[in-house]
A and B are shown apart, each in its own frame.
Chain A
Amino acid sequence: MQNLVSELLLPALVPLGLTLKVALTATLGACLTGIGAGYALSRRSLPGRELLDAICTLPLVLPPTVIGYYLLVLFGRRGVLGQWLQETFGVSLIFTWQGAALAASVVAFPLVCKAARTAFEGVDQNLESAARSLGAGELRVFLAVSLPLAWRGVLGGTMLALARAMGEFGATLMIAGSLPGRTQTLSLAVYEAVQAGRDSEAAFLVLLVSALCVTLLLASGRFLKSNPAT
């Protein structure tokens, strides 16, 4: 028992903490952008709506390695955005946990965006028009009418995004590498442990990830059920 704690549990805490940090940051990023994009896409007046929708869905369909490559080329030290970030703020995302969060948020974004679009489209247009006729601005309509009516669908998408962000592997590996204690999340740690032949460690991490996912699914199911639609 003593051995189990010192040899398996303690070393697993670092990648576990990192996974949560990366996944939560990524979900926050995916939420802010995804809800905005989903709302915009739900407006019939938006020109080129279906094309934009296809572009927003792309990260869901593309292999994570393709996304990783795009990010590497964009945010690398010699990339357009990477150079700008380096010169303006002196930061570089490659091989950092922020880079991992960026990768995870890009792959999780379509899940929020899609769910949000569907949810906003389900909101009664008359209610929004009524708010406008009473003098509310677009932002006010969004915050006071559309979002409260659509929040359940948005939340469902967010839960999926969180789950997706926690399991991210391919794009993360390409942009953030697999640095123990810095960017090595649980999914990367499992891969490394198997590669290096540390079987008991791999088995323990696999159980830990499985338990975490079951907990998350149960929690989200409960959360969604105990809060019936307004």
Chain B
Amino acid sequence: MQRIKTVVGILALSLLLFARVASAQEIVVSAAASLTNALDVVKKGFEAAHPGWTVVANYGASGALLKQLENGAPVDVFASADQQTMDQAAAKGLILPGTRRDFVKNVLVLVVPADSKLAVGGEKDLALPGVARIALGNPDSVPAGRYARESLELAGLWDALRPKYIYGNNVRQVLDYVSRGEVDAAFAFATNARQAGAKVRVVREAATKTPARYPVAVTSTGKKAEAKAFVDYLLSAEGQHILQSFGFGKP
């Protein structure tokens, strides 16, 4: 019995220790999946400028991130790939309204696998019989999917093409499908297509009603000062320079 108590005590103590170490100057950033590679570099720059601080990045579809935040995930900074998700966060009181800023702009593009032999030159060609599968983000939770739906609605094709849609859980999965050649065409952000390099070919920019501006904000439960410092860094000349090197535009 005594031994069990000792073991439990040691376990509890070590857990406490770990918890303390982990929370020291740590900023948790929930960011849209399309920001993955760029923010990894931004994180390094920020940590170099603020010794002793660690940025933990949590990437996913903006809708999924919102859901985590809503359920009490310990997040300090939230960056989504669309205004709608951030509006929802604001309406639910999850972010500090004064801290919300747009920090980058992106462009939706229509892409095909690099070795595609189909003559896809624009949205209307997606109706060709040779195009069997079109990948896009799930419009319910993925901003890139919502922009894709907008674009197809503008072209008057959304309903007609419905049987061909393959929904991805985030925009990077969509890109993975098209780079592997599992789908014949896909809608992703220009920055994603750039990362995929030679595996995909960008057909053209897709017209959308809403421009893809990314907002960032400090969460209402987060470590305010530290989170604010990270948002400031994103908007600083240095942060913007890194983001632009990944193909993002000025907001």
Residues of A whose CB lies within 8 Å of any CB of B are 72, 76-78, 94-95, 173, 177-180, 192, 194-198
Contacts and interface: CB of A to CB of B under 8 A. Distances in A.
B176 to A, nearest CB: 10
Contact of B182 (A95, A195, A197, A198): A95
Kindly name the residue among A77, A196, A198 whose own CB sees the greatest number of chain B CB atoms within 10 A.
Answer: A196
Contacts, number: 47
Nearest to A198: B140
A194 B63 CA distance: 10
A195 B166 contact: no
Contacts of B141: 192, 195-197
B180 A194 contact: no
Interface stretch (B26-34, B40-48, B64-72): B64-72
A72 B133 CA distance: 16
Contacts of B166: 95, 177, 179
B61 interface: yes
B138 A196 contact: yes
Interface residue range, chain B: 10 to 19
Contacts of A78: 180-181
Contacts of A180: 167
B67 A94 contact: no
Contacts of A178: 138, 167, 169
A77 B181 contact: yes
A77 B182 contact: yes
A94 to B, nearest CB: 5
Nearest to A175: B182
A94 B182 contact: yes
Given A76-B180, A178-B167, A95 B133 contact: yes
24 contacts: A76-B180, A76-B181, A77-B180, A77-B182, A78-B180, A95-B133, A95-B166, A95-B182, A177-B166, A177-B168, A179-B165, A179-B166, A179-B167, A180-B167, A192-B138, A195-B61, A195-B64, A195-B67, A195-B138, A195-B140, A196-B67, A197-B70, A197-B141, A198-B140
Interface in B213-231: none
Contacts of A198: 140
A192 B138 CA distance: 9
A196 B180 contact: no
A78 B165 CA distance: 20
Contacts of A179: 165-167
A195 B66 CA distance: 9
A173 B181 CA distance: 17
